[in-house]
Amino acid sequence: MIKLDSLTNSIGEWLKGTGPESDIVMSSRVRLARNLAQYPFVGRASDQERGEVQQFLRSRLLQLPSRLSLDYVDVGGLGELDRQFLVERQLISREHAEAAGSRGVAIDTHEQLSLMINEEDHLRIQCVHSGLDLESVWRQISAVDDEIETVVPYAFHSRWGYLTACPTNVGTGIRVSVMLHLPALVITRQIDKVFRSLHKISLAVRGLYGEGSQAFGDFYQISNQTTLGKTEQELIAQVADVVPVLIDYERRARDFLVRETEQNIHDQVSRAYGILRTAQTITAEETMQLLSRVRMGVLLGLLDDVDVSDVNLLLVRTQPAHLQKLRGVELDTKDRNIERARFLRNYFETGSAEAN
């Protein structure tokens, strides 16, 4: 059984802040949807069948020939705080956290792999790496998928491919996504134009979510929309091809801000930093927004006493469930906001989260 508390002190793969283009690309992710041939899909399975699917997959995942070191978490048996915690780390989906019935997730020690059991499909395999690194993500996840397939009869049809509960995922069952930090495109109001051009090539864009499900910061996820009729490599390329363009736009917008509005942008960044260091109570949304500005400021060389890795760490540790787990008590919204402000002040004062 995994010790969720041990995760509290690590940062998680997607916020490590390393890897190619990591000034703009936070993470690269691939997800595969798979189902067992001999069971109804999750939404139509009886409680007993769901329980059997969980047992069947759990026992096989934990005994894969390569001895992948996976820890299994019975999500159905977790309290709300722990489930929320896994969502904040992007190891399970919000839907998986909030669902009912037998369900679980297997997570590898590096938090790169997570395998959700009984989400919308029997098995959802996810692999994430820091920075822009879709190729190695694909290499890793396809090897895991192959290995599972030697011990699990995945539902497959020669014409339709891998069969999924929702026809929108049928075929490859793949979703390829890249998460980007695009503050300069937001500030210069070019982001809408960018989204519009993405829709034209049938890519989806979504914001990241904080407390109360409001979009936060300037983090956006670009992913493919179709799963059938193209190979996995083609679908990966569809996303991968657009990322350098977005990186280029964002870099140009950052350059523009420094060149044309230097004082203004310096002011914005410094104020954001100032609030984070002195606030007495602060919401998760405001924190994300300000951290996003500070992150850009650091990367532009406008703030020299903060590190990008600090900002990445704070992005995850100031989220509600993390905050409560670090504090060791459950807190209501009001107390969380006070605790969050205290945590931030302390962090910037001592330069470490451990001192809290």
Partner 1 sequence: MRCQQCDKQAMFHITELETGEVREVHLCEDHARSYLNQSEGASQPSESPGPLGVAQTAEELSELDQKVCEMCGITFFEFRNQGRLGCPHDYVQFEQELEPLIANIHGAVEHTGRRPQRAAGSELPESTESLTRVIGLRKGIREAVEQEEYERAGTLRDEINQVLDNWHAEQQTADGTDSSQPSESPSSS
Q: Does position 263 bind partner 1 by CB under 8 A?
A: no
Q: Please give the single-letter amino acid code of residue 39.
A: Y
Start-to-end Cα distance in the chain:
27
Q: Which is nearer to partner 1, 93 or 318 (CB)?
A: 93
Among 170, 237, 326, 338, binds partner 1 (CB under 8 A): 170
Among 10, 39, 252, 348, binds partner 1 (CB under 8 A): 39
User: Taking the complex as a whole, how short is the minimal distance between the CB of residue 166 and partner 1, in angstroms?
Assistant: 6
Q: Does position 167 bind partner 1 by CB under 8 A?
A: yes
What is the C-alpha to C-alpha distance for residues 347 and 356, in angstroms, rounded to an integer?
A: 7
Q: Which is nearer to partner 1, 54 or 337 (CB)?
A: 54
Q: Does position 108 bind partner 1 by CB under 8 A?
A: no
The number of residues that bind partner 1 (CB under 8 A) is 65
User: Taking the complex as a whole, how short is the minimal distance between the CB of residue 304 and partner 1, in angstroms?
Assistant: 34
What is the C-alpha to C-alpha distance for residues 137 and 240, in angstroms, rounded to an integer?
A: 12
Question: HSE (CB half, 13 Å, CA atoms) of 316?
Answer: 24
Q: Does position 266 bind partner 1 by CB under 8 A?
A: no
Q: Does position 318 bind partner 1 by CB under 8 A?
A: no
Structure tokens at 37: 């041939």
Q: Which is nearer to partner 1, 3 or 200 (CB)?
A: 200
- Ordered alpha helix ranges (H), the chain: 4-8, 47-61, 80-88, 94-98, 134-149, 183-187, 191-200, 232-278, 284-299, 308-317, 320-327, 333-350
User: Taking the complex as a whole, how short is the minimal distance between the CB of residue 259 and partner 1, in angstroms?
Assistant: 26
191-210 mask for partner 1 (x: CB under 8 A)? xxx-xx--x--x-xxxx---
Q: Does position 36 bind partner 1 by CB under 8 A?
A: yes
Q: Does position 183 bind partner 1 by CB under 8 A?
A: no
User: Taking the complex as a whole, how short is the minimal distance between the CB of residue 72 and partner 1, in angstroms?
Assistant: 18
Q: Does position 136 bind partner 1 by CB under 8 A?
A: no
Q: Which is nearer to partner 1, 55 or 278 (CB)?
A: 55
40-79 mask for partner 1 (x: CB under 8 A)? xx-xx-x-xx--x--xx-----------------------
Provide the residue count of the chain: 356
Among 228, 242, 308, 316, binds partner 1 (CB under 8 A): 228
Structure tokens at 244: 């350098």
Beta-bridged to residue 226, according to DSSP, are none
- Element housing 26 (H / E): strand 25-34
Q: Is-contact 127 79, C-beta < 8 A?
A: no
C-alpha dihedral, 263 to 266 to 267 to 273, nearest 10°:
-170
Q: Does position 81 bind partner 1 by CB under 8 A?
A: no
Q: Does position 139 bind partner 1 by CB under 8 A?
A: no
For 166-202, b/e burial (b = at least 16 CB within 10 A) is eeebbbbbbbbbbbbbbbbbbbbebbeebbeebeeee
Residue 19's CB is within 10 A of a number of other CB atoms, namely 17
Q: At CA 74, angle to CA 72 and CA 75, rounded to 5?
A: 120
The distance from CA 249 to its chain's CA centroid, rounded to whole angstroms, is 23
Q: Does position 222 bind partner 1 by CB under 8 A?
A: no
Among 47, 156, 244, 330, binds partner 1 (CB under 8 A): 156
Which positions touch partner 1 (CB under 8 A)? 35-41, 43-44, 46, 48-49, 52, 55-56, 94, 120, 142, 146, 149-163, 165-168, 170-172, 174, 191-193, 195-196, 199, 202, 204-207, 213-215, 225-232, 235
